[in-house]
Structure 1
Amino acid sequence: MIKFGVIGTNWITKMFIEAAYKTGEYELTKIYSRTEARGEAFLNTLAVDDVDIVTTLSDLYTNIDVVYIASPNAFHFEQSKVAIESGVHVIVEKPTTSNPTEFSEIERVLAQHPEVRYFEAARHIHQPNFKLIQQTMGELTQLQGATLVYQKYSSRYDAYLAGEEPNVLTRTYSGGALYDLGVYPIYAAIALFGAPRAVQYLPTLLTNGADGKGTANLFYDDFNVTVLFGKSANSYLPSEIYGLKETLSISNIAELETVTYYDGDGQQDNIGQVIDDNPMIHEAQDFADVINDPVGNHVRYSQWFQLAKQVNQTLFDLRSSANIVFPADQKEY
């Protein structure tokens, strides 16, 4: 049984805990919170027993195998680094780090602890429907790019409009649309098409300098990919991948509820599988497979790590093209 701890007392942490238990591979033993009261309140929402509430990383990283990190983006780097140095595997929510400099430092520390595995929790690329999309793309007559969409009004946007500074919508915590919802379609684009040769980001900026929504253009040799995402408005557009005459239509590039193939005559075939109630089950199982058998799953792990590195660089390049600077970019490591 894999003993794990969590950082973050929010809905996505609860979802991962439930997914982890459904695999039958994990046992939650510790919850990290800045206050015991908040940790206890979160624990009371879970159907688990014998869990310790801790308020320091040193206590968290003792006697666990892996940590799941779902704190504000700006904290991912330091919390991950300390875990690796403690010999603890890391599952960190998107994005892994604020910039490539931090990611390079993570690589350096991992090289000193080769027994540790470091995963980015990009849940959608582990789902069966995403693998089906990858397979079907190979059958397209001629790949001609894509339009990927993930735009959903954030509950925290109301707080921003009321004059507050929510973590997910401020550069202080490496937030904004690109580094939140935008990670999903960017991840999908790079997993499906590879790293782009050039990028451009056209954001709609908030008054605090963070991006509320935007359009990213990814340029490849033979086609372009347009990515629309945001937290300040809702979009109901599907995502599409274009062949010569064929088209793959995905209801939501992050959730992958439906996948429809249109042939050259416009005839449609709903090829997607029914998705699980908890979309994190497949990534939790994949990560457990690697932790339990790192040698047998080395190729898969290496592919995920290189993909995470490419996504991290692309996010930074997009942000740089729009002159969006995070405080984390000014730090020296």
Structure 2
Amino acid sequence: MLKLGIIGTNWITDQLIDAGNITKQWQLTTVYSRTEEHAREYSHKFDAQEYFTDIDQFFSEGVFDVVYIASPNSLHYQYARQAIENDKHVIVEKPAFTNPDEFSQIEALLQAHPQVRLVEAARHVHTPLFAAVKQQTSNLKQIQGATLTYMKYSSRYDQVLAGKTPNVFSLEFAGGALQDLGVYPVYTALALFGEPNSVVYFPTLIATNADGKGVAILRYDQFEVTLNFGKTTNSHLTSEVYGLKDTLVMDNPADLTKAVYYDDQQVAHPIEANVAENSMVPEMQEFAALFEQPDDQAQLAKYQQWFDLSRQVNSLLYTLRQSAGIKFPTDK
């Protein structure tokens, strides 16, 4: 059983721990939080054996094999670097890093620690249903584009309206809609269609100067893909991939639970695949297989695919930000 350490004690961490428990391949052993009270409470909540409030002690003394990093985006690089230097495997919450320079530095560090593996927690691309959607997309005789939508109102936006700057809407912490919900449609587009020829992002900026929502357009040789995402409103639109007379429809590109293929005659063919109640279960199963057999050739092949896709996502997010003039302190 893999021993898990965590950085970041919020709802997404709760979900990951629950997924690990469901797979019976993971055991939470170690918690890091900046405050003693929070660290103690969280470790007791999940029966972790130890907690730390000093990040250096966490990495040097903590009894764990893998660290899950769910801190504010701008801190991912720092913590991932420390993890690799201490020979800990890494699951880093999306977006993994804020720019290609950070990504390339982490990649070089991994080469210096060849037994360490780093994966990005993009849960939807590891699900059986996403694999079935990808297969159906590849079967389309002609692709004329896609529209991928994921808008979900964030309770933290209430704080913005009250004049505050929560981390998820802070440029200092590399926040904003693109860096959060926007990662899901970006991942989906790259996984289904590959890298585009050119991109542009039209953000709607909010009081914190971060993007609250926006529209991105990815241009390919024969078609365009439109990404709609945001954290300041809710959308009930589906996402679609357009063939000629046929269409592939998904409920949304993040919490993917339903997909239907409409053929040339507009007959609906539901795409059958197992959907876990906790959407993180498939990725935690795949990550466990990798970390338990890091040198297995089949696992290495999967790992390389995941890592290459993560690099492409990182590059595309950065290019989209640059097109919109959105800059983070880490870009310096």
TM-score normalised according to structure 1 size = 0.96
Per-residue deviation, residues 234-291 of structure 1 (Å, max 9, x unmatched): 1000000111111110001101111011011111122143521110011011111111
Alignment equivalent of 1:57, drawn from 55, 69, 80: 55
SS at match of 2:172: helix
Amino acid of the residue matched to residue 218 of structure 2? L
CA contact under 8 A between 1:151 and 1:231: conserved in structure 2? yes
The aligned residue for residue 303 of structure 2 is 301
Q: Whole-Å Cα distance in 2 between the matches of residues 199 and 217 of structure 1?
A: 6
Give 1:184's aligned amino acid.
Y
Report the counterpart of residue 33 of structure 1 in structure 2. 33
Q: Secondary structure at the match of 1:185?
A: helix
Does 2:249 correspond to 1:249? Answer: yes
Within 5 Å, give how 1:68-147 maps onto structure 2.
68-147=68-147
Shift of 1:41: 2.4
Query: Following the alignment from structure 2 to structure 1, what is the Cα–Cα distance between the partners of residues 124 and 9?
Result: 22
Corresponding position: 1:223 with 2:230: no
How far the C-alpha of 1:36 sits from its partner, in A, is 1.6
2:140 aligned counterpart, secondary structure: coil
Written as runs of structure 1 = structure 2, the 5 A alignment for 1:176-195 is: 176-195=176-195
Partner-residue secondary structure (3-state), 1:138: helix
Partner of 2:20: 20
Conserved 8 A contact 1:241-1:248 = yes
Partner Cα separation in structure 2 for residue 231 and residue 41 of structure 1: 29
Q: Which segments of 5 or more consecutive residues in structure 2 lack a partner in the other structure? A: none
Asked if 1 retains the 8 angstrom alpha-carbon contact of 2:150 and 2:229, the reply is yes
Q: Is the 8 A contact 1:181 1:229 kept in 2?
A: yes
Q: Contact 1:257–1:274 at 8 Å: present in 2 too?
A: no
Tell me if 1:310 matches 2:308. Answer: no
Cα distance between partner residues in 2 of 1:207 and 1:36 = 33
CA distance in 2, matches of 1:30, 1:312: 29
Query: Distance in 2 between the 1:181 and 1:76 partners?
Result: 17
Structure 1 vs Structure 2: percent identity of aligned residues?
50
Q: Distance in 2 between matches of 1:160 and 1:235?
A: 20
After superposition, give the CA deviation of every residue in 1:86-128 in whole Å (9 maximum; x if it has no partner): 1001000000111111111101111110100000000000001
- How big is the shift at 1:169? 0.5
Checking the alignment, whether the CA contact within 8 Å between 1:72 and 1:167 is kept in structure 2 is yes
* Residue 329 of structure 2 is aligned to residue 327 of structure 1: yes
Length, aligned pairs only: 328
Q: How does 1:151-166 map to 2 (within 5 A)?
A: 151-166=151-166
Change over 3 Å in CA distance of 1:50–1:329 after alignment to 2: closer
Contact map agreement 2:20 2:281 (CA 8 A) in 1: yes
In 1, Cα distance between equivalents of 2:327 and 2:48: 43
TM-score of the superposition, structure 2-length normalised?
Answer: 0.97
Report deviation, 1:43: 3.0
Which residue number in structure 2 is paired with residue 200 of structure 1? Answer: 200
Give the counterpart letter for 2:319 in structure 1: D
RMSD (CA atoms) = 1.0
Paired residue secondary structure (1:171): coil
Query: Cα deviations across residues 146-187 of structure 1 (Å, max 9, x unaligned)?
Result: 100000110100011001101001101000000000000101
Check whether the contact 2:160–2:207 (CA below 8 A) recurs between aligned residues: no
Amino acid paired to 2:321: R
1:280 lines up with 2:265 in the alignment: no
* Rounded Cα–Cα distance in structure 1 between residues aligned with 2:48 and 2:219: 51
Unaligned ranges ≥5, structure 1: none
What is the rounded CA distance, in whole Å, between the counterparts of 2:48 and 2:233 in structure 1? 42
Q: Which residue of 2 aligns with 1:259?
A: 259
Supply the distance in 2 between the matched residues of 1:169 and 1:114 (Cα, whole angstroms): 36
Task: Measure how far apart 1:214 and its partner are.
Answer: 0.1
Secondary structure of 2:38 counterpart: helix
- Aligned partners of 2:56 and 2:27: how far apart in 1? 19
Bigger drift between 313-322 and 102-111 goes to 102-111
- Aligned equivalents of 1:100, 1:272: Cα separation in 2: 37
Runs of 4+ in 1 over 6 A off after TM superposition: none
